[in-house]
Structure 1
Amino acid sequence: MSVALGLGGCVINPNSREGPDTTPVVSPAPPAATTARPGEREHRRLVASFGGVYRSPAAQRLAEDVVSRLVPASDRPDINYRVTILDSPLVNAFALPTGNIYVTRGLLTLANDTSELAGVLAHEMAHVTANHALARDELEKRSDLISKVNTHVLKDPEADKTFRSNVQGTIAGFSREQELEADRIGIRTSARAGYDPYGAARFLEALDASTRLGRAGGQQQGTAASFMATHPGTQQRVSQAVRAAREIAPPGTGSRDRQTYLAAIDGISWGEDPGNGQVRGRVFRHPLLGITFTAPEGFALDNSGQALLGVANGGELALRLDAVELDTAAPLDKFLASGWINGVTTESTTLTTINGQPAAVGVARGQEWVFYLGAIRIDKTVFRLVIATRQPDPAIQNMFLTSLESLRRMTPAEVRAIRPLRIRLVTASPTDTPETLAAQMAISSMALERFRILNGLRQGQSLTPGERYKVVSE
């Protein structure tokens, strides 16, 4: 995302915040009676867009301590920083030129030791010290000025179109080079501060593995294209990070401080906020809307916030469930036939009742897809289910109807039972394996693969008895 001052975005995908005493280099949020620091409006907007501040005293304290240790080793020890943990499951980190640094709780769950977090934070500090956001902003301003000259002075729209196409690639390349430069500077800074310089490379490897697992599991990659346009490939960054670390010291040099890190993130939330809907295998539950829904077998589900999305059969089947407000007097069959899917013609609709609620089902057809449509009214809310397939298929239609019939109100006891998933620590026994600990995960989809990624384990790597490992549990 972008804000007025520009971002240096980098890493992508019951706690309370009571931070430690402030230090000269890490500033807490300013008291209400004081003058807001520069960029405060952008800070508030950015925090709001990422779900707010995630409140974890131990994680906040650790992040601030790491920055306090990094600042004297940086190229600009005079800069004052403030670290904010964002309540987002996405793995991301970025910085404002004002010294505001942001990391998501999703990033904290993926990292495995303090040196990995130090590598991320030092990378963000490098964006600030190298003025990357301001440099990119200046390049974009100059490009916009040339574009206006082409259009309004020279009156040459074709030249402007060619120029814009060329400059888009220039800005993207400029951003990619900034990322690589920030990696180099960050690794040098973290090593000076006494951290293991290979921490950055290990984290980037975990990021790459997590991204590949998300794609294999069918998760939606809505921002992947724009992210890759401005970021070098993760493998390229891993290779460079390893080279930069080797130029500083051999492996085994510097502090990792794994135990301190794990203690700081023990109990941190993992995955989506259940208040916005929760996916458990094929089952979707939304406590605020008060409904539960079970998707057909084989669908990988992703709760995007605006809708529940799913894919199956390598993308040959697609699913969408969302909710809209509709006048209680509006007929549901007419609603299905109203053309709310662009370019699709509704062929038939039928009024019915599902779980005691008014409902309608229908079939629509586009140029390449057939859509099975359903709508169920619960109070003033209409829940819409669409399953799309390449060809009409009675078996898929029956699967759609069974899934639609699973949508119902939750009981108060079911609503109360919804709890967030959290990172918990378990100590490996001599008989434990990745498989036995993965079996403790409260995740039904690819639990073993996720366990390995969460703990930085490669395929075939065994556990160390007595070592603590991360699992996801309720």
Structure 2
Amino acid sequence: MKLKMLLALGASLATIGCAAGGLTGDPGSRSISQNAQQAAAQQHPQVVAEFGGTVDANRSAYVAAVGSKVAAQSGIQGGGSGAYTITTLNSPVLNAFAVPGGYVYITRQLLGLMDDEAELASVLGHEIGHIAADHSRGRQNRGLLTQLGALAVGILTGSGDLAQLAGTVGQGLFLSYSREQEYEADALGIRYMSAAGYDADASASLLASLGAAENLDNRIAGQDQRSVPSWARTHPLSEDRVNRATALAGQVQSAGTGIRNRDQLLNAVDGMIWDDDPAQGVVRGNRFLHPDLRLAFSVPQGFGIQNGSRAVSITGSNGQAQFSGGAFTGGLGSYIGQVFQALAGGQGQINFPPPQSTSVNGIPAAYSTARANTSQGQLDVTVFAYQWDPDTVYHFAMITPAGSGIGPFTSMVGSLDRLSASEAASIRPRVIDVVTVRSGDTVQSLASRMAYDDYKLERFLVLNSLSANSQLTPGSKVKLVVYGNR
């Protein structure tokens, strides 16, 4: 969550109009259409902003260079010299996605999970494959940024699954591909990376790593309070898919013999932030802390937290909520009314009773609960706003079963508080530290150095694609996650 945010997610997000498809020309001489390129280029700055910006120039250039090698094999005119724009996002979510118009995005979290450059080539090849195969053509595609604001409308109209909407705000709800299209993109990605000289076996190994990461996230969800990785939703993982990738790799010449470039990838991720960037706030257990804004709050046990650049989403079986904010230009009652209006998303008005004034940890606050009729039945919608300073208001927007009111979120709305200077200064980023294995090192001894209070061994194994009985070779390199400096 950034320093300044929109009042509500649905208020001013534009649409990428590329649904009709992004390619022109006959097979063998195709190019990305000018209209698709222009639309994607226009929205690119907003996509980047929504995902926390980009990583530093050196890492961005490294990823783009690998992508250019792979894209040159895609059969699209200018594929290796500008037809594609490849961006590495400063996001703690495991994800990669493609936008019609030749724009490919990958998050630093996914980059950090990889074992070598060939795995990077496989992911970029897969996304380039979606574009080259024109998988967007004929599909009903709401704009990328429109979907980022879907919660603001969906929670009150009943359109879509509430938990999934809330859990993916800040990550994006991207064009959903069919299973056949996913398989085709896998096959194309393997073809492209192999033609670029990379080991085609990397596709299956990366998919296996993603599956292991998904399984671990599911195991620790109750403690780390995170939602399922975006990749697992937009690119469903399965043993069948890994097996298919393995079989496809066996059909190309580079399988087992092509470029892996492990050291190059490790050099690129060494020192890179892992998990949350403190500049956007961090999730620690069931707490959200923002050292720059000097604020913190806690969510009830059993609820998950997902931090986005515009809002923090809280999801659980008994309700969903978002924490966001805006400029304070009048009374809290007026601000609450604006939030209700934005939540309605043009679907009519929400009639709410006059807000009640209160105080939370010395912070002036007000709240109101309205009853909303949706296709899923009646729901209670509550806006709880805090006057943080003379110019800033923060608020929770909460949706609970009818009659519950604030109910499940009572402890959360009462937990918002200011961080002291020393507390804020103590919040440090987790960063990847590439270390050389020494004689006597074991997976257990190295895992003990991971910057976590729980699941140290499991996190280390997933990060390095190892098993508990793996034997480490002195002189080889592995990744740790340690605390860095701000």
Q: State TM-score, norm by structure 1.
A: 0.66
Alignment partner for residue 108 of structure 1, among 108, 111, 122? Answer: 111
1:4-47 CA deviation, whole Å, 9 max, x = no partner?
A: 346999xxxxxxxxxxxxxxxxxxxxxxxxxx998255224124
Matched, 1:93 2:96: yes
What SS does the corresponding residue of 1:39 show, helix, strand or coil?
helix
Is contact 1:116-1:200 (8 Å) kept?
yes
Aligned sequence identity (%): 32
Matched, 1:275 2:279: yes
Select the structure with the greater relative contact order (CA < 8 A; seq sep ≥ 6).
2
Is contact 1:136-1:175 (8 Å) kept?
no
1:153 is matched with: none
The offset of 1:114, in angstroms, is: 0.9
Instruction: Indicate how the Cα distance of structure 1 residues 254 and 120 shifts in structure 2: closer, same or farther if over 3 A, else same.
Output: same
Q: Separation in 2 of the partners of 1:72 and 1:295?
A: 47
2:450 is matched with: 441
Alignment partner for residue 39 of structure 1, among 30, 37, 40? Answer: 37
Residues 73-84 of structure 1 mapped to structure 2, 5 A cutoff? 75=75, 79=79, 80-81=81-82, 82-84=85-87
Q: Separation in 2 of the partners of 1:461 and 1:344?
A: 58
Q: Separation in 2 of the partners of 1:339 and 1:61?
A: 43
Is contact 1:281-1:444 (8 Å) kept?
no
What SS does the corresponding residue of 1:50 show, helix, strand or coil?
helix
Instruction: Give, as a single letter, the amino acid of the residue that structure 2 aligns with 1:457.
Output: L
Alignment partner for residue 418 of structure 2, among 406, 409, 424? Answer: 409
1:219 is matched with: 226
2:480 is matched with: 471
Matched, 1:3 2:7: no
Is contact 1:363-1:372 (8 Å) kept?
yes
The offset of 1:124, in angstroms, is: 3.4
Instruction: Indicate how the Cα distance of structure 1 residues 197 and 275 shifts in structure 2: closer, same or farther if over 3 A, else same.
Output: same
1:437-474 CA deviation, whole Å, 9 max, x = no partner?
A: 34433344644433322222245545444332222333
The offset of 1:258, in angstroms, is: 1.0
Is contact 1:119-1:199 (8 Å) kept?
yes
1:193-239 CA deviation, whole Å, 9 max, x = no partner?
A: 332111011111222233344444153469789x55xx564433322
Is contact 1:95-1:102 (8 Å) kept?
yes
1:63 is matched with: 63
Is contact 1:347-1:362 (8 Å) kept?
yes
Which has more radius of gyration? 1
Q: Separation in 1 of the partners of 2:463 and 2:112?
A: 7
Is contact 2:280-2:309 (8 Å) kept?
yes
Q: State TM-score, norm by structure 2.
A: 0.65
Instruction: Indicate how the Cα distance of structure 1 residues 196 and 295 shifts in structure 2: closer, same or farther if over 3 A, else same.
Output: same
The offset of 1:241, in angstroms, is: 0.6
2:296 is matched with: 292
Q: Separation in 1 of the partners of 2:176 and 2:379?
A: 37
Instruction: Indicate how the Cα distance of structure 1 residues 349 and 438 shifts in structure 2: closer, same or farther if over 3 A, else same.
Output: farther
Is contact 2:55-2:108 (8 Å) kept?
no
Instruction: Give, as a single letter, the amino acid of the residue that structure 2 aligns with 1:42.
Output: A
Q: Separation in 2 of the partners of 1:120 and 1:404?
A: 41
Instruction: Indicate how the Cα distance of structure 1 residues 234 and 56 shifts in structure 2: closer, same or farther if over 3 A, else same.
Output: farther
Q: Separation in 2 of the partners of 1:4 and 1:340?
A: 23
Instruction: Indicate how the Cα distance of structure 1 residues 258 and 369 shifts in structure 2: closer, same or farther if over 3 A, else same.
Output: same
The offset of 1:242, in angstroms, is: 0.6
Is contact 2:307-2:313 (8 Å) kept?
yes
1:26 is matched with: none
Q: Separation in 1 of the partners of 2:139 and 2:71?
A: 30
The offset of 1:183, in angstroms, is: 1.5
Instruction: Indicate how the Cα distance of structure 1 residues 259 and 407 shifts in structure 2: closer, same or farther if over 3 A, else same.
Output: same
Q: Separation in 1 of the partners of 2:118 and 2:231?
A: 27
Matched, 1:192 2:198: no
Instruction: Indicate how the Cα distance of structure 1 residues 193 and 207 shifts in structure 2: closer, same or farther if over 3 A, else same.
Output: same
Instruction: Indicate how the Cα distance of structure 1 residues 116 and 391 shifts in structure 2: closer, same or farther if over 3 A, else same.
Output: same
The offset of 1:391, in angstroms, is: 12
Q: Separation in 1 of the partners of 2:350 and 2:118?
A: 53
Q: Separation in 1 of the partners of 2:318 and 2:35?
A: 51
The offset of 1:244, in angstroms, is: 0.5
2:9 is matched with: none
1:14 is matched with: none
1:354 is matched with: 360
Count, aligned residues: 406
Instruction: Indicate how the Cα distance of structure 1 residues 443 and 348 shifts in structure 2: closer, same or farther if over 3 A, else same.
Output: farther
Instruction: Give, as a single letter, the amino acid of the residue that structure 2 aligns with 1:60.
Output: S
Matched, 1:377 2:378: no
Q: Separation in 2 of the partners of 1:370 and 1:295?
A: 19
Alignment partner for residue 459 of structure 2, among 447, 450, 459? Answer: 450
